Structure formats: structure tokens, C-alpha cells
Amino acid sequence: MNIKYRQLQAFTLAAKLGSFAKAAEELCITQPSFSVQIRELEHDLGLQLFERTTRSCRLTPAGTTFHREIAPILHDLRQAYGRAIDVGAGRSGQLLLSALPSLSFGLLTEVLGRFNQDYPNVRIRMREELNVAVIESVKRGEVELGVGSELNGDPELGFMQLFHDDLVVVAPMRHAIFAEPLKWSRVGDYPLIMLTMGSADRAILANRPGITPTIEVAYMGTAVSMVRNGMGITILPSSALKGVDMEGLQAQALPGKDCRRTIGVLYRKRAPLSTIAHAFVRLLKKNAATVSAD
């Protein structure tokens, strides 16, 4: 059996209009060509589908049964084709993304808001993960894109640089720690509120003996709220400050090359990006330029 879509299209149209001539006209082909398609379909099926007269056609009992079964299948096929075209053009589909919590808290919230306005029919699924988990999610193909720190030469993944992200001390305005040039040795002089183990700022502390957190919390918003209430100081990535109410607070970058990380988009080299992913990356790059400028 070698049934073609154009044969089924001709069959259902003739059944609807009751005329080969009208169906051929609607398909913009000659009536002889239309008749050939119907004959080929009947030959492939081994069935007579129509009773024909010079002016009209009528389904046979076998044709009626075949039409009842095939019509919804053709409808679903057209729907599937239309949805595939929309996804290919970026008009619908889904964006699967993994990102550092510090970025989702600030930069990505703004970018995703704009993306949702431009692509309202695209579903967004975002994971908030530490950088190691972001990398693994991309490598396993669980997400199409990751937004995180620069790789250390992983051959499977590509990296598109967005901006440099400094770790900063956040403290109340005119806090004593800002009275002199900021040094790591002075950070340990004050109660330190830090995120739990696994975050980028905690990794930095591993190389700074003598500096230990006084309070550990899971969320940046909690750390900032505690700072605002005079419970101590905290260390955050500068990119996260886009999502923080800094009224009454001050931030200053920590010294040291290890206090700066390069943020970018991670992707699988062997998997071409979808139209949706390309659109998101373009918008992300545009907004990341403002972070670099700041």
C-alpha cells in the first residue's frame, strides 16, 4: 500500500462536495488529473470508493466507512503540521532552561518577562540550580540552554559569554566596613550572613581561612532582609542585585581575581538550537549588555 496525502485530500474533498469537477477546481488541478488520483487510491485500497455519474459522485458503502475513519486522521495530521510549523517558526513550543539562582533572581526575571510578551504561546520551564547541576542538565539534554559560569574546557558543550559578574559585599548604608578600602581581612570582623554550601560565594570562602558565616540561609532575599535589619553583612553576586531592593543598602565589589566569574549561555555543540532558543539568546544578550555597562 502506497497511499499519498494528496490522494486522501482529493478523496475527502470529493466526498464533501459531491463532485469531481468542483473538487478539482478547488485544488486548482484539471479534472482528469483529479480522477487519476482517485483511481490510484482505489487501486491501492482494492476498493471502489465512489459511484460516479457525469455530474456528481456519491460514496459507496466502503467509501463511507473509509471516509468516516480517515477524515479525523487527516484533520489531526493538518493540526500536527500546523503546530510543527509554529514551533519551527518560534511562534509556539517550549523553552527548557537551567540557570543559577542568582541570575533567575535578577537578570532572568526581567528577560523572561519580555520574552513572554514577545512569545506568549511559548511555555517556559526553568530550573534554578547550582553551576555543576546546570552543566549536567545541559549535557544530559534535559534542558536546551543553561545560564551559568564559564566552563573548564568541556568538549561536549559550547559557551557564549554574556558578562562578568563580581562578588560584592552588601551592608547597610555607611556601614563601618565601607569606611576604608574593602579587604578580605576586614570581612571577618563583622557577622557574616551567607547562602548555604554549594553557592559561588561559599566556594570563594573556602580559600579565605578565618572567615566563617555567622548565619546561613537558603535564599538571597532572606540574607538581604537580615542585612537590612542590622544582623550583619552578606556577599552576593552583583548580577543578583538587579532583583534586590537596595534602599538603605550599599554594595561594593570584593578584591581578588577569584571574586569575578564569567557568565554565559551553555549549550550542546551537537544539538542545533531551536528557533525559540535562538530568540531567547538574542534577548538575553541584549539585556546582558546593560549588566556589563553597569
Q: Which helix (H) or strand (E) holds 166?
A: strand 157-172
Are residues 84 and 230 located together in one domain of the fold?
A: no
CB 135 within 8 Å of CB 146: yes
CATH code assigned at 32: 1.10.10.10
For the entire predicted model, the pTM comes to: 0.65
In a 10 Å sphere around its CB, with 0-12 CB exposed, 13-18 middle and 19+ buried, how is residue 250 labelled? middle
First to last CA, the chain: 66
Rounded Cα–Cα distance for residues 202 and 251 (Å): 18
pLDDT at 64: 94
β pairing state of 93-99 and 122-128 = parallel
β pairing state of 122-128 and 249-253 = unpaired
Are residues 85 and 208 located together in one domain of the fold?
A: no
State pLDDT tens for residues 69-126.
998 898 888 878 777 777 776 676 889 999 988 888 778 888 999 999 988 889 999 9
Question: DSSP class of residue 273?
Answer: P
In the listed set 89, 104, 137, which residue is the last one of a domain according to the structure? 89
Question: DSSP class of residue 174?
Answer: T
Are residues 227 and 112 located together in one domain of the fold?
A: no
Number of domains forming the structure of the chain: 3
Which parts of the chain register pLDDT below 50? Answer: 293-294
Are residues 268 and 241 located together in one domain of the fold?
A: no
CATH code assigned at 221: 3.40.190.10
Structural domain boundaries, residue 149: 93-163+260-292
Residue 130: Cβ within 10 Å count? 17
pLDDT at 293: 46
- CB proximity list for 219: less than 8 A, separation 6 or greater: 195
Are residues 265 and 156 located together in one domain of the fold?
A: yes
Are residues 249 and 264 located together in one domain of the fold?
A: no
In the listed set 51, 66, 89, which residue is the last one of a domain according to the structure? 89
φ and ψ at residue 80, rounded to 5 degrees: -65, -40
In the listed set 54, 89, 124, which residue is the last one of a domain according to the structure? 89
